[in-house]
Amino acid sequence: MLQSLTSLYMSSPECHIYFGRQDKPYLIDADKTQINRVFTNLLQNAIQAIPEGQEGHVAISMKEEGPHWVVVEVIDNGAGISPEAQEKIFVPNFTTKSSGTGLGLAMSKNIVEQAGGEIWFRTSPGMGTTFFVRLPLVADQSEASYS
């Protein structure tokens, strides 16, 4: 799923998108449409965080964390999140953009938590931000059909 999502944005000349290939697909017990919304939002935010005139780089990677979790990282080299905004970033209706509703990250947090996971970030103002999404794996990964 993430591979197809990133391919939608790969044609952007001002931002390069990198998808780290995983060794195998990971099966999670979550609504595919809702999880797609989470990663669409994170990817769009990462691209929009790149200041105009700067060559953008966004990387997406997945790694297994123990036998029960997969962690997806969305890394950008954008403006970062200011210290003032960091504590409000998941609050509904909070936005740092001139347009938008400020619901994307609040909605993403709710979706991830409903799936039994968690979302957090690390940021360096002026350097970029990494969002982490940890999701529980289905116990029998032999049935994995998508990631």
Higher-pLDDT residue of 120, 25? 120
Lowest mean pLDDT among 8-12, 76-80, 105-109, 137-141: 8-12
pLDDT higher than threshold 60 for residue 146: no
Average pLDDT, the chain: 86
Looking at the DSSP assignment, which residues form a beta bridge with residue 82? none
**Two tokens at 61?**
């990677």
Pairing of strands 69-76, 128-136: antiparallel
Higher-pLDDT residue of 12, 47? 47
pLDDT higher than threshold 90 for residue 80: yes
Cα separation of the two ends of the chain: 5
Lowest mean pLDDT among 13-22, 74-83, 104-113: 13-22
Q: How far apart are CA 38 and CA 32, in angstroms?
A: 10
Taking residues 1-17, what's their average pLDDT? Answer: 65
